[in-house]
Amino acid sequence: MSKVFVASAGLVQVGEHWSKSILDLMAEASLLAMNALPDAKPDRVIVGNMFSGVGASQEHLGALLASQLNLIGVPAYKVEAACGSGGAAVHNAFLSIKAEESDVVLVCGVEKMKDMEVGRVTAALTMADSAEYTQFPGGTFISLNALTHALYLKKYGISREEMAGFPVLGHRNAALSKHAMFKKAITAEDVLRSPLISDPIRLMDSSPVCDGAAALLLLSEKKAKELHAEAVEILASEVAANLFSVYERPDPLDYLATRTAATRALERTGLKLDQMDFMETHDAFSITAALTLESLGVCKPGKAPHDVSTGRFDLTGELPLNTFGGLKGRGHPVGATGVYQVAEAYLQLSEKAEKNQVKGAKIGLTHNMGGLDTTTFIHILRRAA
Amino acid sequence: MGILGYGAYVPLYRLPTTEVARVWRGEGAGPNKEKAVAHDDEDTFTMACEMARRAVRMAGVDKLGAVLVGTESKPYVVKPTSTILAQALGQHFSLAADLEFACKAGTEAMQFNIALVASGMIPAGLAVGVDTAQGRPGDELEYTAGSGGAAYVIGKGRDSLATFEASTSYVSDTGDFWRRPGEKFPSHLGRFTGEPAYFHHVESCMKAHLEETGHKPSDYSWAVFHQPNPRFPVEVGLKLGFKMEQMEPGLLNTVIGNTYAGSSLIGLAATLDVAKPGDRILICSFGSGAGSDAFTLEVTDRILEKRKLGVSVRSMVDRSVKVDYAVYTRFRGKLQD
Amino acid sequence: MVNPISYWRLKDRYFNLVGSKCKKCGAEWFPPVKVCRKCGSQELGDHEMPHTGKLLTHTVLREPADEFKRYAPYILGLVELDNGQRLLAQIVDVDITSVQNGTPVRLTLRKLTEDGKKGTIYYGYKFTPLP
């Protein structure tokens, strides 16, 4: 079994890309990654994406990308796990290299959301949950999260105001980042004044609808040695699936998939959570940010909002979180996010994070969820000694 | 043979007639105080389902041999409401049909059920009279056209809470109120809907019915007439020799409007809610086009137990949320493109 | 979203909360399952869930999918049925400002959406606090 290394990353700025198609986005990110290491010719192409079929009438993205990059005869396919598609793509690439079936894998996560009007994007995102028992009764993905948000506030007696710390942190970090969507810091008042989407979730509690693409070149041990590209290694890539919909779970606030995948990843690597120098977590909504931290054991139950307010998770804090803004600040082009996260971890660990650099970062963890903790992908990356 | 169970449904929302008058006239009110309005996610089927489930629960029957829905506001012009209802009730081996006869389609459904049960073809059947009546905006019918109705399980046996003594029907070709295909709202002939339509058919039917049964108005504890407005049923009742006290419980137009095919059936339900064992009840409907059905019922002592399984009409009338004309137009789909 | 045929397949689920009951251990499941989550048996049959329950929590949804836009804002509730099974359903007959968690609720059938003026009307479960 081979080790797996991240050798380069290409990130398109997350935002509104009216003049770029889904192909334009994924090709741009991929070429950025590939051109950083021209001697590494991909022998596999994996695209992570959630709903290109619905948004662009285009499936089969792996083959489309490979064809346009002139990678003929190479294994190429799309993987999908809702908003965890990016994590799934990285995971799939990881497995192929570990199994010594590939030496150079191009992983690209892409999503084009802005071509669709709001009602359609809402419906598309809710494909992450049950068509028959969530979508059809009139539910949306945000509303499921709103239910858990309401249950959480009630269970721990937390005020709505305390949850605003998460988006504030996200924007603060995003303002420093070149590839983030949002460049302005926001205040808790901004969050609390923003319109309600699904009570208690407000517009600014939610990651934005946006376009984006990120790509990575993953290398085998052999290839990384050959190309002197052993700086950043993926130590673990673990996945776990939870009961599909939140209403099927005995405890709707328990992120079982997050916990299970994280436990496996730590066991595999022999590492402890407090050895992480930073974490990129799935803060699609303020509530997912809070519950993720508590399910990982980073915060005590009900204490995540308080911990944010102490500065514990700031870039200069004890455990920097979402160092480039996370899903809220950097953006959440859903199928691409998991790849953005690993790319950002790569930038941190190879000291290319510029204004967002966590000093001395050696080990980092990424956490990407498909659905509401329905499929969770955990990656642990380490800088080479 | 009689009624094994009954159930009514009145939606939550009310439109005061002062609102209709405010928009179209600038002031004033209609002949009724307010009318019941279905929410925009309700329709004739959803309301029929509420009524029917209540009636079936009260009746305690497992099998219905007929599901007959009388309405003039079918959700589909072609596709029976009754099969959707039969599906919801789990009654696949039943004769399901939609009946239309303006405001008397509900009592028609009752007539057919009586015949099916009496002939032995079915052990029990369901009759529903229900409407989400529409008035043309600005037309005087808009004051009264309301939503609601009632359902009755008719069957044989000792379990009846009221037995049928007799029934009479009378019809003629009198086009007082109608709707052509493709038209959204009905048309009518104004004052002609009174004397030659409503009064003529109710009185003709009643005369024959009283002759057939040999009863006098004073033989009845209660009388229920179709209620297109608050005045007509009182006028015809008094003219026929009935007293106000006999009609009181069944008079609902003032508070819920005219629920068309549901009107006389919901008046009957309100009356059954207060009736005592041994009471004799008269119900006479009227449907434009035109015709009337009259029935004489006698309440049994089963009513006291059975009534406890129901939801009283009074409780539904009393729980209400007022809407204004704007919200009403949204609920009733008048703003849809 | 839904089409007339997938709706037709689901009507017992939507009209009468028909879920699964394990023939081996008796556990009841809604939404239905293919394998019993309690005992692992594949021997499951259709079974009607209780039509009553209570409202655990709710949200007022203001930005629904296109099909539901005309009804916004509406209340989505997490309802726990009397047998402990939970589901997501709209809550009706109550104002968005006065809906209370913990309220007992019962099944009522309402229109969910329709395929425009010419198409199928889709009915399904919602819950009401009214008797």
Residue A122 in any domain: the answer is no
A197 with A304, same domain: the answer is yes
* Structural domain count, chain A: 2
- Band (C1; pLDDT cuts 50, 70, 90): confident
Residue C11 in any domain: the answer is yes
What angle is formed at CA B152 by the lines to CA B150 and CA B156, rounded to 5 degrees?
170
- Look at residue B122 and tell me whether its pLDDT is greater than 70: yes
- Look at residue A30 and tell me whether its pLDDT is greater than 90: yes
What are the structure tokens assigned to A73, written together?
Answer: 């005869």
Residue B107 in any domain: the answer is yes
Looking at the partner chain, which of C62, C122, C125 has a beta carbon nearest the beta carbon of A197? C62
Rounded CA gap, B89 and B53, in Å?
7
Rounded CA gap, B312 and B89, in Å?
21
Rounded CA gap, A33 and A343, in Å?
10
Residue type, C104: P
Residue A361 in any domain: the answer is yes
* Structural domain count, chain C: 1
Q: Select from C49, C58, C59 the residue whose CB has the most chain A CBs within 10 Å, as the one to mutate to test that interface.
A: C59
Q: For residues B331 and A300, which has the higher predicted lDDT (pLDDT)?
A: A300
B262 with B137, same domain: the answer is no
A219 with A361, same domain: the answer is no
What are the structure tokens assigned to B309, written together?
Answer: 């399984």
Choose the most confident range, by mean pLDDT, from A161-165, C45-49, C114-118. C45-49
A225 with A243, same domain: the answer is no
Domain that holds residue B85: 2-160+304-331
| Chain A contact present for C90, CB below 8 A | yes
> Are A283 and A330 a contacting pair, CB within 8 Å?
no
Q: Select from A116, A118, A132, A202 the residue whose CB has the most chain C CBs within 10 Å, as the one to mutate to test that interface.
A: A132
Rounded CA gap, B131 and B213, in Å?
31
Residue A328 in any domain: the answer is yes
What are the structure tokens assigned to A220, written together?
Answer: 């085998």
| Chain C contact present for B311, CB below 8 A | yes
B136 with B154, same domain: the answer is yes
Rounded CA gap, B238 and B217, in Å?
10
Tell whether omega for the bond before C31 is within 30 degrees of 0, i.e. cis. yes
B145 with B237, same domain: the answer is no
Residue A123 in any domain: the answer is no
The region of weakest confidence among A52-56, B134-138, C8-12 is: B134-138
User: Which of these, B7, B18, B9, B3, lies nearest to B328 by C-alpha position?
Assistant: B18
Residue C28 in any domain: the answer is no
pLDDT attached to residue B337 = 59
Residue B337 in any domain: the answer is no
Q: What percent of chain B has pLDDT over 90?
A: 93
> Are A137 and C124 a contacting pair, CB within 8 Å?
yes
- Look at residue B335 and tell me whether its pLDDT is greater than 90: no
Q: Do the bridges between strand C18-22 and strand A375-383 make them parallel or antiparallel, or are there none, so unpaired? A: unpaired
Average pLDDT rounded to a whole number, residues A46-66: 97
Interface of C with B (CB under 8 A): 11-12, 15-16, 70-71, 90, 92-93, 95, 108-112, 117, 121, 123, 126, 130-131
Q: Chain C 45-74, CB below 8 Å of chain A: which residues?
A: 56-69, 71, 74
B155 with B166, same domain: the answer is no
Subunits with at least 3 CB pairs below 8 A relative to chain C?
Answer: A, B
Residue A135 in any domain: the answer is no
| Chain C contact present for B50, CB below 8 A | yes
> Are A353 and A278 a contacting pair, CB within 8 Å?
no
Rounded CA gap, B107 and B133, in Å?
17
In this structure, the number of other CB atoms found within 10 A of the CB of residue B184 comes to: 9
The answer to whether the Cβ–Cβ distance between B45 and C16 falls below 8 Å is no
B226 with B138, same domain: the answer is no
What one-character DSSP code corresponds to residue B103? B
User: Which of these, A163, A116, A188, A189, lies nearest to A285 by C-alpha position?
Assistant: A163
What are the structure tokens assigned to A141, written together?
Answer: 């993905």
- Look at residue B177 and tell me whether its pLDDT is greater than 90: yes
Rounded CA gap, A249 and A256, in Å?
10
Residue B13 in any domain: the answer is yes
Contacts of C83 in chain A (CB under 8 A): none
Alpha helix ranges (H) inside chain C: 4-16
pLDDT attached to residue A87 = 98
Looking at the partner chain, which of C117, C123, C130 has a beta carbon nearest the beta carbon of B46? C123
> Are A178 and A80 a contacting pair, CB within 8 Å?
no
Distances (CA, A) of A78 to A153, A297, B315: 38, 33, 59
A213 with A274, same domain: the answer is no
- Look at residue B327 and tell me whether its pLDDT is greater than 70: yes
Residue A131 in any domain: the answer is no
| Chain A contact present for C10, CB below 8 A | yes
If you measure CA to CA, which chain B residue comes closest to C107? B50
Question: Could you say which of A199, A232, A265 is where a domain stops?
Answer: A232
What are the structure tokens assigned to C49, written together?
Answer: 């869930």
Rounded CA gap, A258 and B46, in Å?
42
Rounded CA gap, B120 and B116, in Å?
6
pLDDT digits (tens, 9 = 90+) for C68-111: 998 999 999 999 999 999 999 999 999 999 999 999 999 999 99
CA trace torsion A123, A129, A134, A135 (10° rounding):
20
Interface of A with C (CB under 8 A): 118-120, 122-123, 126, 130-140, 142-144, 146-147, 149-151, 154, 195-201, 243, 245, 247-248, 252
A219 with A262, same domain: the answer is no
User: Which of these, B1, B270, B264, lies nearest to B158 by C-alpha position?
Assistant: B1
The answer to whether the Cβ–Cβ distance between C110 and B41 falls below 8 Å is yes
CATH of the domain at B265: 3.40.47.10
Average pLDDT rounded to a whole number, residues B129-158: 92
B244 with B317, same domain: the answer is no
A100 with A113, same domain: the answer is yes
Looking at the partner chain, which of A123, A151, A195 has a beta carbon nearest the beta carbon of C66? A123
Please give the positions of A annotated as active site.
Answer: 83, 332
- Look at residue A193 and tell me whether its pLDDT is greater than 70: yes
Q: Select from B14, B41, B316 the residue whose CB has the most chain C CBs within 10 Å, as the one to mutate to test that interface.
A: B41
> Are A375 and A257 a contacting pair, CB within 8 Å?
yes
- Band (B134; pLDDT cuts 50, 70, 90): confident
Residues pairing with A371 in the sheet? none
If you measure CA to CA, which chain A residue comes closest to C6? A132
Residue type, B308: K
Average pLDDT rounded to a whole number, residues A225-254: 96
Average pLDDT rounded to a whole number, residues B68-74: 96
> Helix, strand or coil for residue A293?
helix
B166 with B76, same domain: the answer is no
Residue C98 in any domain: the answer is yes
Rounded CA gap, B185 and B289, in Å?
16
Residue A336 in any domain: the answer is yes
A107 with A144, same domain: the answer is no
B54 with B196, same domain: the answer is no
Residue type, A150: A
Query: Is residue A37 packed enough to be buried (19+ CB in 10 Å), middle (13-18) or exposed (0-12)?
Result: middle
B191 with B143, same domain: the answer is no
A168 with A90, same domain: the answer is no
What are the structure tokens assigned to B80, written together?
Answer: 């029976």
B148 with B290, same domain: the answer is no
In this structure, the number of other CB atoms found within 10 A of the CB of residue B156 comes to: 16
Q: What percent of chain B has pLDDT over 70?
A: 99
What are the structure tokens assigned to C55, written together?
Answer: 């409202």
Domain that holds residue A35: 4-117+209-232
If you measure CA to CA, which chain B residue comes closest to C13? B88
CATH of the domain at A177: 3.40.47.10
B226 noted as active-site residue: yes
- Band (A384; pLDDT cuts 50, 70, 90): confident
pLDDT digits (tens, 9 = 90+) for B199-245: 999 999 999 999 999 999 999 999 999 999 999 999 999 999 999 99
- Band (B292; pLDDT cuts 50, 70, 90): very high
Distance to chain B for C126, nearest Cα, Å: 10
Question: Could you say which of A232, A266, A292 is where a domain stops?
Answer: A232
Rounded CA gap, A278 and A314, in Å?
10
> Helix, strand or coil for residue C114?
strand
- Look at residue C32 and tell me whether its pLDDT is greater than 80: yes
What are the structure tokens assigned to B186, written together?
Answer: 């009905």
> Are A383 and A276 a contacting pair, CB within 8 Å?
no
B286 with B308, same domain: the answer is no
User: Which of these, C58, C35, C63, C33, lies nearest to C47 by C-alpha position?
Assistant: C33
Domain that holds residue C54: 4-17+50-128
- Band (B334; pLDDT cuts 50, 70, 90): confident
Please tell me the total number of residues recorded for chain A in this structure: 385
Rounded CA gap, C81 and C85, in Å?
5
Residues pairing with C105 in the sheet? C53
Residue type, A203: L
What one-character DSSP code corresponds to residue C53? E
- Look at residue A363 and tell me whether its pLDDT is greater than 90: yes
ipTM: 0.95
Rounded CA gap, A345 and A367, in Å?
11
> Helix, strand or coil for residue B264?
helix
| Chain C contact present for B12, CB below 8 A | yes
| Chain C contact present for B43, CB below 8 A | yes
What are the structure tokens assigned to C94, written together?
Answer: 């109550």
Looking at the partner chain, which of C11, C71, C95 has a beta carbon nearest the beta carbon of B41? C71
Residue B213 in any domain: the answer is yes
Average pLDDT rounded to a whole number, residues A218-247: 97
pLDDT digits (tens, 9 = 90+) for A234-243: 999 999 999 9
- Band (B336; pLDDT cuts 50, 70, 90): low
Contacts of B106 (CB under 8 A, 6+ apart): B70, B71, B127, B128, B129, B130, B149, B150, B261, B262, B263, B264, B265, B285
> Are A127 and A55 a contacting pair, CB within 8 Å?
no
pLDDT digits (tens, 9 = 90+) for B20-38: 999 999 999 999 999 999 9
Rounded CA gap, A334 and A210, in Å?
9
A219 with A263, same domain: the answer is no
- Band (B158; pLDDT cuts 50, 70, 90): confident
What angle is formed at CA C20 by the lines to CA C18 and CA C22, rounded to 5 degrees?
150
What are the structure tokens assigned to C28, written together?
Answer: 């009841």
Contacts of A28 (CB under 8 A, 6+ apart): A10, A12, A20, A213
Residue type, B4: L
Rounded CA gap, C51 and A275, in Å?
51
CATH of the domain at C117: 2.40.50.840
What are the structure tokens assigned to A243, written together?
Answer: 């009961």
Contacts of C47 in chain B (CB under 8 A): none
- Look at residue B135 and tell me whether its pLDDT is greater than 90: no
Residue C42 in any domain: the answer is no
Rounded CA gap, B221 and B280, in Å?
5
